[in-house]
Amino acid sequence: MEADLIAWLRRTLPPHPLLKLGAGDDAAALALGQGHDCLVTTDIITDHIDFKLDETTADRIGRKALAVNLSDIAAMAGEPVAAVIGLVLPRQGGFELAQGIFNGILPLAEEYGVAIAGGDTNSWDGPLVVSVTLIGRAVGNPLRRDGARPGDKIIVTGNFGGSILGRHFDFTPRVSEALLLNKRYQLHAGMDVSDGLSLDLSRLCAASGCGARVELAKVPISDDARRLADQLADSTTPLDHALSDGEDFELLLAVPPDDARRMLEEQPLDVQLTCIGEFVAEAGLRQVDDRGNVSPLTPRGYQHSL
């Protein structure tokens, strides 16, 4: 990483108990502790695709770049430990932009106990690129996608849809929530909803070799989804937004029935837990409307194209 930026970061960064060697050497060294597997996830976000630099502030971009990775570690029910940051900066005003990005990264990193362990910067004539790789450590068994079984309840945190109105920048990564749930209840599988509730549910089903039945009336619809449906005034309903909008970053869990019942009664989190249906043996998604009619549910959401 560029010398001035490293110097500024070194003055700014607090010490971290697991970081033995931080930014400024050839690599960082982390003491993850005995018995903890190392978790690693990466996201690369770009101007015009994941944010618009001319319509938002650098700190919100930095916050998002770290937050999406925190959500991935949460989806494994892991503890985040340290991040490395790759930046490709426009030549004009690059240093100030980098500082702005870090001004969004650092408070969130501190809140979640994440050490900034290093990074790399480059400058060019192209648009801004922010790459964050987050190292975590497993606590107990990582929460994988491939463990859902027929009969498991589909449990989600929070509300869905309309994050484009702003929540995709300032959402709460469900790290402590996932740690608590994974400690207190039996969870068969889980992931974070990043590309759309129905699409990500179909992925969890595919990984687990099962299907799912969603009770439409139970899907928690965010106020943003209602506002967005009002604003767009097309045929898309708030429920459609809840099922297909991306970037909710809520947890989607497969929970055996007894634990699901207990979890819903106890509501141990600050955020609401909701059962939206159950996993079934037959592949594919089905929806149940409020009259009990069952029909196919087409997975929709953000499809990453190449």
Residue 55, interface with a copy of itself (CB under 8 A)?
A: no
The reply on whether position 220 binds a copy of itself by CB under 8 A is no
Characterise 267 by phi-psi region: left (phi > 0), alpha (psi -120 to 50), beta (else).
left
Q: What SS3 class is residue 61?
A: helix
Binding a copy of itself (rule: CB under 8 A), the pick from 86, 220, 246, 301 is 86
CA distance 224 to 246: 13
Site for a copy of itself in 232-271 (CB under 8 A): none
Per-position x/- string for 93-122, each x denoting binding to a copy of itself as judged by CB under 8 A, each - no binding: -xx--x------------------xxxxxx
- Of these, 14, 17, 48, 289, which contacts a copy of itself (CB under 8 A)? 48
Maximum Cα interatomic distance, the chain, rounded to a whole number of Å: 64
CA pair distance 72, 269, nearest whole angstrom: 19
Q: Binding residue for a copy of itself (CB under 8 A) from 11, 15, 91, 235?
A: 91
Helix (H) or strand (E) holding 117: strand 115-124
Q: In the set 9, 13, 16, 28, which binds a copy of itself (CB under 8 A)?
A: 28
Give whichever of 48 and 184 is closer to a copy of itself, judged by the CB atom.
48
Residue 283 makes contact with a copy of itself by CB under 8 A: no
> 193 near 249, Cβ under 8 Å?
yes
Measured CA angle at 72 (ends 201, 306), to 5 deg: 70
| Residues 123-182, interacting with a copy of itself (CB under 8 A) | 123-127, 129, 131, 133-136, 138, 142, 144-146
Q: Choose which of 9, 13, 16, 39 interacts with a copy of itself (CB under 8 A).
A: 39
For the CB of residue 19, give the shortest distance to a copy of itself in the complex, in Å. 10
Distance set, CA 152 to CA 186, 244, 299 (Å): 11, 22, 20
Which residue has tokens 């943003």?
Answer: 224
Site string for a copy of itself, 177-216 (x = CB under 8 A): --------------xx--------------x---------
The CA-based angle 251-255-258, given to 5 degrees, is 140
CB of 294 to a copy of itself, least distance (A): 27
Give the binding range for a copy of itself (CB under 8 A) out of 44-52, 228-236, 253-261, 263-271.
Answer: 44-52
* Pairing mode of beta strands 129-138, 38-46: antiparallel
d(CA 130, CA 89): 9
Using the rule CB under 8 A, which residue among 11, 15, 34, 234 binds a copy of itself? 34
Burial (0-12, 13-18, 19+ Cβ within 10 Å), 201: buried
Kindly state whether residue 273 participates in binding a copy of itself, applying the rule CB under 8 A: no
Nearer Cβ to a copy of itself, position 141 or 295? 141
Interface with a copy of itself includes 31 (CB under 8 A)? Answer: yes
